[in-house]
């Protein structure tokens, strides 16, 4: 059933594991991620960026597709449908109106007081209808859809500012930018664990780690031990599914039926997601 992230993430934080946010790109992603969650008996967060929603026809078509697949597959684990990097108050409300159970308002490119004001506006609406809210401070580097942050712009979150934002907005979870990057890493990731601990202790809310693709397991475990309860993964599924499509088409140059190459791609996504759920410790927690 569709639920907000609130209970999911508080339980995960208390019990020392993280729930994966896996981004939707099309129907095959949705099928693969829901089936992986059910087989692993894991709670799951379906992340939808504004760009991905546009690709799939808008927020409402995505919600309708998710709801009908949940019913058709008899999914019993908790599922949240979450707007990833919401760019404005208006977009967040639009997503909630379409049936999203959770939204991220990404005000990280604004000065602190503006970020707080816009985040608070979203929380005020969301909490009335039981929708959970994620906010971001600092700037996560790399590229995701429309969101491009180059190395010079990427910035670590300042713990005292994080405390102020979480306290004043009452967000349900919080993403401090601490060196993680959207898309593949150039070299080894260098996460600011000292600040992560500080932010976790100051704010008390479940923390979110963006740019989950390519982070070594030891770092994942360390982040979870320091209060990270949600980890976002998109690129890794895109890489594993694209690789599978290439293999199948290379081996079968005459193939043209999309089900014959997107079916294997869907299988690759499912395997990747199941691996992540085990790595994050969310398997058998639903
Ligand atoms: O918001 C989405 C994630 O942070 C995805 O990051 O594509 O590097 O796995 P990733
Ligand atoms: Zn992100």
**Distance between CA 98 and CA 113 in Å, rounded?**
29
* Residue 100's pLDDT band (cuts 50, 70, 90): very high
Q: What is the dihedral of CA 226, 82, 279, 38, to 10 degrees?
A: 140
Lowest mean pLDDT among 105-119, 134-148, 262-276: 134-148
What's the confidence (pLDDT) of residue 250?
98
**Residues 6 or more apart from 129 whose CB is under 8 A from it?**
96
Residue 153 has pLDDT above 80, yes or no: no
| φ, ψ at 226 (rounded to 5°) | -100, 15
What's the confidence (pLDDT) of residue 58?
98
Q: Which ligand neighbours the alpha carbon of 25 most closely? A: 1
Average pLDDT over residues 238-257: 98
What's the confidence (pLDDT) of residue 147?
81
Residue 238 has pLDDT above 80, yes or no: yes
Q: Mark the residues whose beta carbon lies below 5 A from ion ligand 2.
A: 210
* Residue 150's pLDDT band (cuts 50, 70, 90): confident
Lowest mean pLDDT among 124-133, 166-175, 177-186: 177-186
Measured in Å, residue 180 CA sits from the centre of ligand 1 at 9
Q: For residue 78, which of 29, 5, 173 has the smallest C-alpha distance?
A: 5
Percent of the chain residues topping a pLDDT of 70: 100
Average pLDDT over residues 260-285: 98
The per-residue pLDDT for range 75-98, each reduced to its tens digit, is: 999 999 999 999 999 999 999 999
Please say if 84 is a catalytic residue: yes
Architecture of domain 6-280 in CATH?
A: Alpha-Beta Barrel (3.20)
- SS3 per-residue string spanning the chain: CECCCHHHHHHHHHHCCCEEEEECCCHHHHHHHHHHHHHHCCCEEEEEEHHHHHHCCCHHHHHHHHHHHHHHHCCCCCEEEEEEEECCHHHHHHHHHHCCCEEEECCCCCCHHHHHHHHHHHHHHHHHCCCEEEEEECECEEEECCEEECCCCCECCCHHHHHHHHHHHCCCEEEECCCCEECCCCCCCCCCHHHHHHHHHHHCCCEEECCCCCCCHHHHHHHHHCCEEEEEECHHHHHHHHHHHHHHHHHCCCCCCHHHHHHHHHHHHHHHHHHHHHHHCCCCCC
CB 104 within 8 A of CB 135: yes
The domain spans of the chain are 6-280
Helices 89-98 & 112-128 angle (0-180, nearest 10): 20
* Residue 253's pLDDT band (cuts 50, 70, 90): very high
**Which atom of ligand 1 sits closest to the CA of residue 84?**
1
What's the confidence (pLDDT) of residue 47?
98
Tell me the average pLDDT of the chain.
97
* Residue 50's pLDDT band (cuts 50, 70, 90): very high
What's the confidence (pLDDT) of residue 266?
98
* Residue 144's pLDDT band (cuts 50, 70, 90): confident
Nearest CA residue ID for atom 2, ligand 1: 232
What's the confidence (pLDDT) of residue 149?
85
Measured in Å, residue 149 CA sits from the centre of ligand 2 at 11
Is ipTM beyond 0.90?
yes
* Residue 262's pLDDT band (cuts 50, 70, 90): very high
Average pLDDT over residues 42-50: 98
**Which atom of ligand 1 sits closest to the CA of residue 213?**
9
Beta strands 79-86 and 102-105: pairing type?
Answer: parallel
Structure token pair of residue 44: 């799951």
**Which atom of ligand 1 sits closest to the CA of residue 238?**
7
Residue 143 has pLDDT above 90, yes or no: no
**Which of 84, 185, 212, 214 has the most ligand 1 atoms within 8 A of CB, as the residue to mutate?**
212
What's the confidence (pLDDT) of residue 154?
76
What's the confidence (pLDDT) of residue 146?
80
Catalytic residue chosen out of the listed positions 7, 84, 145, 275: 84
Q: For residue 81, which of 127, 119, 131 has the smallest C-alpha distance?
A: 131
CB 181 within 8 A of CB 154: yes
Beta strands 141-144 and 147-149: pairing type?
Answer: antiparallel
Q: Which ligand neighbours the alpha carbon of 210 most closely? A: 1
Q: Show the CA angle centred on residue 273, arms to residues 69 and 134, nearest 5°.
A: 80
**Distance between CA 264 and CA 281 in Å, rounded?**
26
**Which of 144, 154, 185 has the most ligand 1 atoms within 8 A of CB, as the residue to mutate?**
144
Is 172 near ligand 1, meaning CB less than 6 Å away? no
């Amino acid at each position: 059933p569709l639920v907000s992230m609130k209970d999911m993430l508080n339980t995960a934080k208390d019990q020392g594991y993280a729930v994966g946010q896996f981004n939707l790109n099309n129907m095959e992603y949705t099928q693969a991620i829901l089936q992986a969650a059910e087989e692993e008996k894991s709670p799951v967060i379906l992340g939808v960026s504004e760009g991905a929603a546009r690709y799939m026809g808008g927020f409402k078509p995505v919600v309708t597709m998710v709801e009908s697949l949940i019913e058709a597959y008899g999914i019993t684990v908790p599922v949240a449908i979450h707007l990833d990097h919401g760019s404005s108050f208006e977009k967040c409300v639009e997503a909630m109106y379409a049936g999203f159970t959770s939204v991220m308002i990404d005000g990280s490119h604004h000065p602190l007081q503006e970020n707080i004001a816009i985040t608070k506006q979203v929380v005020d609406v969301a909490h009335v209808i039981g929708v959970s809210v994620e906010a971001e401070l600092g700037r996560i580097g790399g590229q995701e859809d429309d969101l491009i942050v180059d190395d010079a712009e990427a910035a670590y979150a300042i713990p005292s500012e994080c405390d102020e934002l979480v306290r004043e907005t009452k967000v349900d979870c919080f993403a401090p930018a601490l060196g993680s990057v959207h898309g593949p890493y150039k070299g080894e990731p260098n996460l600011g664990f000292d600040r992560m601990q500080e932010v976790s202790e100051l704010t008390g809310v479940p923390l979110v780690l963006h740019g989950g693709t390519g982070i070594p397991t030891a770092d994942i475990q360390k982040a979870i031990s320091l209060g990270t309860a949600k980890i976002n993964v998109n690129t890794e599924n895109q890489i594993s599914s694209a690789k599978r499509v290439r293999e199948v088409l290379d081996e079968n140059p005459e193939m043209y039926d999309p089900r014959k190459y997107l079916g294997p791609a869907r299988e690759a996504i499912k395997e990747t997601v199941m691996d992540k759920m085990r790595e994050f410790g969310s398997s058998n927690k639903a």
